[in-house]
Amino acid sequence: MQRIVYLERESVIAEVRRPDFAHEWVEYQSTQAEQVVERLAGASIAIINKVSLPATAIAALPELKMVAVAATGTNIVDLEACKARGIVVTNIRGYAEHTVPEHVMALLLALSRNLIAWRETVQAGRWQQSEQFCLFDHPIRDLHGATLGLVGSGSLGNGVARLAEAFGMRVLRAEHKDAATVRPGYTAFAEVLAAADALSLHCPLNEQTRHLIGEAELRTMKPSALLINTARGGIVDEAALIRALKEGWIAGAGFDVITAEPPPMGHPMVAPQLLALPNFLLTPHVAWASRPAMQALADQLIDNIEAFVAGNPQNRVA
């Protein structure tokens, strides 16, 4: 009988059906790093979302046969340690192909049309005191005719491209940063940075993409450009981003992710002075979290587990 231990049940608001095979099901609403080994003792299948599963934990769990990640990103798992042990690791794919692109466009629209600044203007009574029917306090830019650069062309990047093109944007797909050649349909990384009126990130976080966007890249972008990150916080050098916003290297940024989640007190990305800027929007890693998307995630999670037990693993990353 399979023993399935779900370490972070509260990370998904959805109905999670039980697998269609004999099993023991144990779930915890949340789990801290120091509790992982104790709670997974005797488990053959582990379900995790954001808590880390390092090599030391894997070595201490001899009965573990599968790690079902209830998310797309798998940087929380030591994949090499799993491969060495023959542990199957799966992730979730395609479930957020509508909700994340919609969030990207919401951030783009809010920043392009200065919605936060306009809201504050009305709250301050400026409209009520106006001598004409409208105000011109803040500039408004259209998405139509603007150039969107995409870094990452999976289901999320493709979803953003479809919506952007519906708005009349020109979409450029960035080639890998240090690629020797440029694939058909792609544009050299540096050219995308220089041409983009908005840059949206949709790549995984790994050693190749950590600080992919740093000071040099931010200074390459147009001073009027917007940076959108709904991927992973570490892809952008946060210290460089904060300087870019404060010193005007770029026009604004919309982020749904940062390097520490939840952020500890004093984290620079949630500093009151930064959050008060009208050209910076930060949401708490919720771009993926529409109710339909979370239900699709939960369904695929169990599909992955059932496929593994049936001997035909799907969505396998290790």
Distance (Å, whole) CA 295 – CA 272? 34
Q: Tell me which of 39, 97, 232, 238 is the catalytic residue.
A: 232
Helix (H/G/I), strand (E/B), else coil: 42: coil
Amino acid in position 44? S
Q: Tell me which of 24, 63, 165, 261 is the catalytic residue.
A: 261
Residues contacting 141, CB < 8 A, separation 6+ = 112, 113
Q: Please give the helix or strand (H or E) that residue 27 lies within, else none.
A: strand 23-27
Catalytic residue flag (residue 232)? yes
Q: Are 3 and 39 in contact (CB under 8 A)?
A: no
What are phi and psi for residue 261, nearest 5 degrees? -135, 120
CA angle 97–31–104, rounded 5-degree value:
20
Amino acid in position 302? I
Q: Are 10 and 317 in contact (CB under 8 A)?
A: no
CA angle 301–303–309, rounded 5-degree value:
110
Query: What tokens appear for 72 in the block?
Result: 């797309």
Catalytic residue flag (residue 219)? no
Q: Tell me which of 113, 285, 306, 316 is the catalytic residue.
A: 285
Residues contacting 99, CB < 8 A, separation 6+ = 287, 288, 289, 290, 292, 293
Alpha helices, DSSP H, located in the chain = 36-40, 55-59, 79-85, 99-112, 115-123, 155-166, 189-195, 215-220, 238-247, 272-275, 291-309
- Closest by CA position to 239, among listed 260, 214, 202: 214
Q: Are 101 and 162 in contact (CB under 8 A)?
A: yes
Catalytic residue flag (residue 261)? yes
| CB atoms near residue 211 (< 10 Å) | 14
Q: Euclidean distance between the first and final Cα of the chain, in Å?
A: 23
Query: Which residues are marked as active site?
Result: 232, 261, 285
